[in-house]
Amino acid sequence: MFEQTQDEMDQRFMREALRVAERALESEDVPVGAVVVRDRNVIGRGYNQREHLQDPTAHAEVLALTAAAEQRGSWRLDGCTMYVTLEPCPMCAGALVLARMDRLVFGAYDPKGGACGSLYEISNDARLNHRIETVGGVLAGPSAELLRAFFRHRRSLGEK
């Protein structure tokens, strides 16, 4: 049987996160998608639902973590990898650390709010009790283009 390399696996699951991100468009929310993977199986999915739920914490990562924890029957998500289309913000990076996530793979960097390499290094802060192996820039082009298209559309409607 053909074994996928880590890079191939990362791209495969990032494509799944991109598919999930497109669901956010239905509720006119910023198209960010996340999947949690354990043993090559997706155990949690989430996409931004702040507008739909009117909840400032309804980020893709938080919703995917909640789904994965429910699936596992534990808040401890050791042995899992999160794939998310945009570099996590401080809230989400903190949630990933608290969930004991092993790996984080993200698409586009977020120079204005990213907390896993751009503005902050929460995922690898030695002062915290857990660190996460972090890989950024996987399918960054398609991830960034989905966001750019969303904001271009919003601006064309006169919205911010």
The catalytic position among 22, 61, 121, 145 is 61
Half-sphere exposure of 15 (CA within 13 A, CB side): 5
How does strand 103-108 pair with strand 81-86?
parallel
Residue in 55, 25, 115, 43 with CA at minimum distance from that of residue 79: 43
| Residue 28 falls in the annotated catalytic set | no
The label of the residue with tokens 């092993």 reads: 102
Q: What is the pLDDT of residues 63-114, one digit of tens each?
A: 999 999 999 999 999 999 999 999 999 999 999 999 999 999 999 999 999 9
SS3 content of the chain, % helix, strand, coil (to 5): 40, 20, 40
3-state secondary structure of 46: strand
Distance CA 57, CA 47 (A): 12
Q: What is the pLDDT of residue 160?
A: 67
Q: What is the pLDDT of residue 18?
A: 98
